[in-house]
Amino acid sequence: MKTLVISDQALTVFALSEVLKQCDPTIQVVGAAHLGEAAARLEQEADFELIVLDIDIPGIHRTLGVNWVRQKWPDIPLTVLSAVEPDDDVVRSVDAGAMGYFVKTTDTELLVHAFKQVLAGGFYLPEISPPSVSWEDLRQANA
């Protein structure tokens, strides 16, 4: 299985590679530092089975990158990585077609569990803080 990690931070790509290898030791992780490099990789190598997009990359406006990836490669499962705790970006990302939203501070064991869910065709969404706010409340606030 081949995964494309789009992040401008080499440490993030390395760390996600290690997490993904805990899900499946055969996973090959390819890094791309920006959307242009990601596009080139996706055009040259058509066998990616997962895309992980760091929405904190300079030069993209958070979920606009999610929309762009979904429009260009709608058939490749997409997950989003962010340094920001869950907020309305989660709703926008999922509405745009992301199958998961991960915060960079997430515990490794939980990340492994979450990626396994996504790799099996499921979804992963983080807990919302405060717990009195529901996903439906966030979705309605962004409507």
Q: What is the pLDDT of residues 57-113, one digit of tens each?
A: 887 777 888 988 888 889 999 999 988 776 778 888 888 899 999 888 889 999 999
CB-count exposure of residue 56 (10 Å: 0-12, 13-18, 19+): middle
Neighbours of 11 (CB within 10 A): 8
141, pLDDT greater than 80: no
Q: Say if CB 13 and CB 37 are below 8 A apart.
A: no
Q: Say if CB 81 and CB 55 are below 8 A apart.
A: yes
Residue 143: pLDDT band (50, 70, 90) is low
Residue 53 CA to chain centroid, in angstroms?
4
121 — alpha (psi -120 to 50), left (phi > 0) or beta?
left
Q: Say if CB 89 and CB 61 are below 8 A apart.
A: no
Q: How far apart are CA 96 and CA 31, in angstroms?
A: 22
0.75 exceeded by the pTM? yes
